[in-house]
A = this chain, B = another copy of it.
Amino acid sequence: MTSAKEKYQSRTEILQGTLDMLILQVLHWGPRHGYAVSKVIRTDSGQILKVDTGSLYPALHRLERKGWIAAEWKASEFGPRLRIYRLTKSGRKQLVVERSRWAQLTEAIEGILNPAKQESES
């Protein structure tokens, strides 16, 4: 009874806002279908980042609407049909933007977590 509430305390395996960047990054390695993207993210992060389907597919549709990724159906002989996504030119630009934003934000946060000397890093 109380567990339903407590579950939400340790929720959010994925930092909000980073999922789009991760999807763009994985697709930058080459076209893939959605389910494969989520498996790559999971395995490459050592099971730490788990993308639920309720986050994955809305994110893919979101990115497609914005023109950063493009998709086409592919009927497979084995198993269900696949929707193959690939990064567009505009998506590659967006990936650069999001990566630099990520670098800036993490640097800012690290600066608060670990202050002290910041004279130079040479």
**Which residues does A use to contact B, with CB under 8 Å?**
12-13, 15-18, 21-22, 25-26, 41, 44-46, 48-49, 99, 102, 104-109, 111-113, 115
Contact = CB atoms under 8 A, between A and B. Distances in A.
Among all A-B residue pairs, the 9 with the closest Cβ atoms: A16-B16, A45-B108, A48-B108, A49-B108, A44-B112, A15-B15, A12-B17, A22-B112, A25-B112
A68 to B, nearest CB: 12
B45 A111 contact: yes
B113 A26 contact: no
Contact of A108 (B46, B104, B107, B108): B46
Contact of A15 (B45, B46, B105): B105
Of A26, A106, A108, chain B has the most CB atoms within 10 Å of the CB of: A108
Nearest to A99: B113
16 contacts: A12-B16, A12-B17, A13-B105, A15-B16, A15-B18, A22-B112, A25-B112, A44-B115, A45-B108, A45-B112, A46-B108, A49-B105, A49-B108, A49-B109, A99-B113, A106-B106
